[in-house]
Each structure stands twice: as structure tokens, then as C-alpha cells.
Structure 1
Amino acid sequence: MKQDSLRLYDYHVWANKRVFNHLKDLPNEVYRQEIKSVFSSIEQVVIHLFKTDVVWLCAMSDKNYEEIQQFVGKYSSEIENKTLEEMESKYLKFSEQYINFLSSQEDLDAKKTLKHPMYGQLETRISELVQHVVNHGTYHRGNITAMLRQLGYPGPSTDYIFYLYEKKGN
């Protein structure tokens, strides 16, 4: 159902906003501080999340592998050395493209064929790709929380149930 995918994506944006807001409350140097973890810094996790969201919107929009690589390259140069606030602004602006795309689709459960040079062809649906984007984001928000704990700071609460409680009146 279309509303389910839109709600899941809305949760993804909500959770990422919570991460941005939490990071802005910490000392500025935490964002770029080097750490021995899955990523070398929280900044690198944020960049990875953004680029991956770009990849999957392109895939949902029927871009081929080469076109997707071009889009990622374009965004990579645009986000290089950006502050946390600048990354947040870019992310929120980009998330509007997702919402517009998902809202404009007639059927998010229609078949979609993806082609990847290494993994081959995959028959899927946009709704499944949205689920992937959300799962991927959840995983890496967990990385950020673990990294923050390593640095002596608490992580933000981004569980889906808290999203539901916050949105219950809407």
C-alpha cells in the first residue's frame, strides 16, 4: 500500500533529523573526530547514508548503473567538506525529491527491474526498495550511536515506535 511506503520513508527522514539535531547539540569536533569503528568518523557515516539514498532514488527512477554513478559523483563533489548543518540542509532538500517521487507513483508495488553489472538483474518493487532504504538507514544510525558511545556521548533515540508515538496525533 502506498501509504505504508510513504510512512516508512517519513520515518527514515524523521530518524535522520533526530540524528542531525542530536549531533548539533554536541561539540562541533565530534562530527569529524577520527574513531576506530566501522567508519573513520560520524561525518563519513552521514555522507554514506546520503550517497546511498541518492543511489536508490536513482534506481527507483529507472536510471541505469552508469547514470547512477554520475549522480553519485555529482553529489559527492557537492557534499565534500560540508559542515553538519550544510549536510542536513542538502539531505532535507534531497528528501523532498523522494517524497515527490513516491507520491507521484501510481503503484509502488508494480514490478521494477534493476540491472547491476556485478549482481545481475533483480525483479523487485519500489515498496521493497523503500524498505531497503529505511533498513539501511536504521543500520547506519545504529553505527552512529555506537560511535557516539565510544566517544563518551549518548546516541539519539530513533526507534520506529517513538516515531509512531510522536506522529499519533497527526
Structure 2
Amino acid sequence: MKEFLLDLITFSTWANGKAVESLKSCPEVPEAGLIRLSHILENNWYVYDIIHEHDLQRWNDDRNYTLAECIDEIPKIEAAYKQLLSGATGSDLNRTVRYTDIRGNNVERRISDLIFHTFDHCTHHRGQIAMIVRQAGGEPARTWFNRWIAETGSRS
């Protein structure tokens, strides 16, 4: 599971970079696409705070990053999650954390499920970004998992 999660994080970093390139391909960066990219990155940090049992109050309001801030955050997220996983054991990844989500629901999740969810959730929003980019006159990113494998030689 740990190796899969590490691959998922590396894939997501690559795909987020491709989404940035696609946003830049537009005559003007579409705000709707930037909002979704910001949401992706905020969600990654939100889950990171859940795993570390930090106060989640700061996530009550959305923060919309600039494109430059998104570019800066992408490698920070990758580094933070890879550091988290570097010393994690199977028992660590199976540990359950309890938290109150932004809707006020009490939730229990395994750490591995939280990590999988946040990076899988990115795929949904990158699809939205691709649609927005096409509508804005840009070139949508092709960010599917098999393309990452083909382009990078990962998981071979």
C-alpha cells in the first residue's frame, strides 16, 4: 500500500503540473480553473492536517491561490506527503483518525484511505480544469494515470 500511495502522490504532482501548463495555454487564465486547482491543493493540505490531528478551523473558508502560489505549493505538498510516508509502517497507515469535517460531521478514517481519497479527488477536479481550459481556448492537459506511466516510465 505504501508504494502505491507514493506512486499516487508522484502521479498527482505530475498531473497538477500538467494542469498548470494547460491553464497557462489559455489566452487568459480562467478563474474557474484556478479556483479548482486551488481547491485541489487546499484539500491536500486539509487532509494532511487531519492526519496530523491539527486544528481544522483554518479550513472553514476557501482560500484561492494565485497561479504562482499554486506552482509553489505543488512540490511542497509532494514533499510533505512523501516525508509522511517515508517512515510509515503498515500499522501507521491503518491507524484510524477521528475528526469533525467542515460540515460538522464526526468522521473516522484510516490514514491510508484519507491519503488515497485526497489524491483521487484531485483527478475529478483536474477533469473539470480540462473542460474549463478547452472552453477558454487553451489546450487541456492529458492527465490520466496510464499517460503518466507512458511519459515518465514510472511503475514499469
TM-score by length of 1: 0.77
1:42 maps to a residue whose letter is G
Q: Which letter maps to 1:31?
A: P
Alpha-carbon distance change, 145 to 74 in structure 1, aligned in 2, over 3 angstroms: closer
Alignment of 1:95-134 (within 5 A): 95-107=78-90, 108-116=92-100, 118-122=104-108, 124-134=109-119
RMSD: 2.4
One-letter code of the match for 1:156?
A: A
- Is there any run of 5+ residues in structure 1 with no aligned partner, and where? 33-40
Matches within 5 A, 1:13-92: 13-27=13-27, 29-32=28-31, 41-63=32-54, 67-70=55-58, 72=59, 76=63, 82=66, 84-92=67-75
| Structure 1 moving runs of 4+ over 4 Å | none
Please give the residue correspondences for 1:138-157 in structure 2 after superposition, counting only pairs within 5 Å: 138-157=123-142
Say which is worse superposed, 87-96 or 15-24, in terms of deviation. Answer: 87-96
- Identical positions, percent: 24
Deviates more, 1:103-112 or 1:132-141: 103-112
Aligned length: 152
In 2, distance between residues paired with 1:93 and 1:102?
A: 14
Q: Which moved more, 1:153-162 or 1:93-102?
A: 93-102
